[in-house]
């Protein structure tokens, strides 16, 4: 029989503030300060990651690349290395200082984003995006593990959701910030910068959005203290279970249907979300004749309103459900939002009225927002010394399925079936709807197994 106990991880500092935060379920000023820092880092991460999608046309024109090549920048270059980069980090995150690892990763990806502004060829930009992916591989496993140890108890879903709100805000800011810069400098052929020389407007956008992370990295390192690790899995003799991938494999095999429901279900669900982020701007520019700056402002405001609003509502709803003893509240929410988004996803490229089409795009974004809380059920399921590796594994699945396969499948499908760049929205609709239907089926099948696994783990822990 497995049990859990409070065990400090190597390098953990059991200071008064972090202990007080954990003892109160994280509900202290310091606990929420950590959440705010985590939210700010998430904003920077998504800002650096997603601004690329607003720059499709100028990058294609300057670098002379195709839609499929651009999809490799948006998908393979970032997502594959974002996923693979976390594999060696998983065991380190579960043993060493998560604060130091997070701060170092933030410094790497922010510098790589800034240096994207110097790219003058497809290979150079591809290499910069690879480094962004490797740096951001530290984000999810470190923040989720830190937050879970600080907010151990009734506020966990709320805290994780608040950090995820940062991702939603970052998605909106990526469009807004990019559109703002393009609005002021997009009409110029080149921009002359001191010490740098002449750069194109899209290169200048990368430089601007890379700066905040370079400031935030030292702030996080010097103000967040490593918390004590809690709910550590031990064997029947009280010996701590090893923090290895083999132990994670054994755990997931024992709870295969519950783990599969969360990891595979949310990875497939994310395919619809990532597809919308990658190709909605191109659809609006090509099929609806919108200017890039107008698309940026519109989608930026929409994403801020929809994703932030939905994350706050989902946090409140899931906490209330879980407080009443319903342990699969996050899965219920995600299935419901996926069902809501299915019809708008099917219809948005086919309606003739531009305003109605944009309204359906907004509703489809609402329908894909439920994937943002995927970390909540995963952290519910995992003991402390497996959380970093579990997040890395989840990221690998999610980014291979959603980040690499999703955008590239949409572009390849459009190129092979329609052969018309202006019909990218129809390809997005077909692939996105298929992802939503599959996710709904996986969640429906796996919910009862998830509840059973949580109940079993509760009986086995003290």
Indicate the average pLDDT of the chain.
Answer: 82
Distance CA 139, CA 234 (A): 27
Q: What CATH number corresponds to the domain at position 214?
A: 1.20.1250.20
pLDDT in tens, 310-355: 888 888 888 788 778 788 888 999 999 999 999 999 999 999 888 8
Query: What average pLDDT does the segment 234-252 reach?
Result: 76
Q: What is the mean pLDDT of residues 159-181?
A: 75
Which pLDDT score is estimated for 456?
Answer: 77
d(CA 147, CA 137): 17
Q: Is the pLDDT of residue 237 over 90?
A: no
pLDDT at 19 over 70: no
Per the CB < 8 A criterion, the answer to whether 383 and 245 are in contact is: no
Bridge partners, 234 (sequence order): 3, 240
Q: Domain of residue 9: give its range.
A: 3-460
- Residues of the chain above pLDDT 90, percent: 27
Q: What is the pLDDT of residues 376-415, one digit of tens each?
A: 899 888 887 788 888 888 877 887 788 778 888 898 999 8
b (16+ CB within 10 A) / e for 388-412: bbbbbbbbbbbbbbbbbbbbbbbbb
Q: Name the residue with higher pLDDT: 357 or 185.
A: 357
Whose structure tokens read 């750069």? 199
Cβ–Cβ under 8 Å, residues 366 and 340: yes
Mapping DSSP onto H, E and C, the string for the chain reads CCEEECCCCCCCCCCHHHHHHHHCCCCCHHHHHHHHHHHHHHHHHHHHHHHHHHHHHHHHHHHCCCHHHHHHHHHHHHHHHHHHCCCCHHHHHCCCCHHHHHHHHHHHHHHHHHHHCCCCCHHHHHHHHHHHHHHHCCHHHHHHHHHHHHCCCCCHHHHHHHHHHHHHHHHHHHHHHHHHHHHHHCCCCCEEECCCEEECHHHHHHHHHHHHHHHHHHHHHHHCCCCCCCCEEECCCCCECCCCHHHHHHHHHHCHHHHHHHHHHHHHHHHHHHHHHHHHHHHHHHHCCCCHHHHHHHHHHHHHHHHHHHHHHHHHHHHHHHHCCCCCHHHHHHHHHHHHHHHHHHHCCCCCCHHHHHHHHHHHHHHHHHHHHCHHHHHHHCCHHHHHHHHHHHHHHHHHHHHHHHHHHHHHHHHHHHCCHHHHHHHHHHHHHHHHHHHHHHHHHHHHHHHHHHHHHHHHCC
Alpha-carbon distance of 241 to 449, in angstroms, equals: 24
Stretch 285-304: mean pLDDT: 81
- The C-alpha atoms of residue 12 and residue 414 are separated, in whole angstroms, by 51
Average pLDDT over residues 421-445: 93
24, pLDDT greater than 50: no
Residue 69's alpha-carbon distances to 159, 341, 415, 460, in angstroms, are 38, 29, 12, 50
Rounded to whole angstroms, how far apart are CA atoms 203 and 449?
A: 49
Residues in the chain: 462
The candidate with the shortest Cα–Cα distance to 120, out of 211, 190, 25, 43, is: 190
Q: What's the structural domain count of the chain? A: 1
Q: Which residues contact 462 (CB under 8 A, 6 or more apart)?
A: 3, 4, 5
* pLDDT at residue 238, rounded to an integer: 64
> Could you tell me if residue 197 is left (phi over 0), alpha (psi between -120 and 50 degrees) or otherwise beta?
left
**Nearest-angstrom CA–CA distance, 152 and 294:** 43
Give the span between the Cα atoms of 159 and 258, in whole angstroms.
23
Cβ count near 461 (within 10 Å): 15
- The stretch 31-53 carries a mean pLDDT of 86
What are the residues facing 232 on neighbouring strands?
5
For helices 256-287 and 56-63, give the axis angle rounded to 10 degrees. 70
Under the banding of pLDDT at 50, 70 and 90, the label for residue 461 is low
């Amino acid at each position: 029989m497995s049990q859990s106990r409070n065990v400090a991880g190597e390098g953990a500092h059991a200071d008064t503030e972090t202990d007080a935060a954990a003892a109160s379920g994280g509900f202290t000023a310091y606990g929420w300060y950590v959440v705010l820092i985590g939210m700010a880092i998430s904003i920077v991460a998504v800002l650096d990651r997603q601004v690329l999608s607003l720059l499709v046309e100028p990058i294609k024109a300057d670098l002379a690349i195709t839609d499929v090549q651009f999809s490799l920048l948006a998908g393979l270059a970032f997502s594959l290395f974002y996923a693979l980069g976390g594999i060696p980090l998983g065991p380190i995150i579960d043993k060493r200082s998560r604060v130091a690892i997070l701060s170092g990763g933030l410094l790497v990806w922010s510098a790589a984003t800034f240096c994207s502004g110097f790219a003058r060829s497809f290979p150079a930009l591809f290499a910069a995006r690879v480094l962004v992916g490797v740096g951001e591989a530290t984000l999810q496993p470190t923040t989720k593990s830190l937050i879970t140890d600080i907010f151990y108890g009734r506020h966990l879903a709320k805290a994780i959701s608040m950090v995820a709100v940062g991702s939603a805000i970052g998605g909106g800011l990526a469009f807004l910030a990019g559109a703002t810069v393009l609005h002021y400098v997009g009409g110029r052929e080149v921009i002359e910068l001191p010490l740098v020389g002449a750069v194109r407007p899209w290169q200048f956008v990368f430089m601007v959005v890379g700066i905040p992370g370079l400031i935030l990295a030292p702030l996080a390192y010097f103000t967040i203290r490593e918390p004590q690790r809690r709910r550590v899995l031990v064997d029947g003799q009280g010996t701590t279970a090893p923090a290895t991938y083999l132990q994670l494999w054994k755990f997931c095999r024992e709870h295969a249907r519950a783990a599969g429901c969360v990891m595979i279900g949310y990875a497939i669900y994310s395919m619809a979300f990532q597809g919308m982020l990658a190709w909605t701007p191109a659809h609006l520019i090509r099929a609806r004749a919108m200017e890039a700056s107008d698309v940026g402002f519109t989608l930026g405001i929409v994403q801020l309103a929809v994703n932030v609003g939905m994350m706050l509502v989902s946090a409140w709803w899931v906490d209330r459900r879980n407080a009443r003893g319903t342990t699969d509240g996050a899965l219920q929410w995600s299935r419901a939002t996926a069902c809501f988004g299915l019809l708008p996803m099917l219809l948005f490229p086919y309606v003739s009225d531009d305003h109605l089409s944009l309204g359906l795009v907004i509703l489809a974004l609402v329908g894909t927002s439920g994937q943002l809380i995927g970390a909540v059920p995963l952290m519910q399921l995992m003991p402390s010394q497996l959380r970093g590796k579990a997040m890395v594994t989840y990221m690998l699945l999610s980014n291979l399925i959603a980040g690499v396969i999703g955008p590239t499948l949409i572009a390849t499908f459009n190129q092979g079936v329609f052969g018309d760049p202006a019909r990218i929205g129809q390809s997005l609709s077909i692939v996105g709807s298929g992802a939503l239907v599959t996710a709904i089926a996986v969640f429906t099948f796996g919910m009862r197994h998830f509840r059973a696994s949580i109940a079993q783990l509760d009986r086995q822990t003290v």
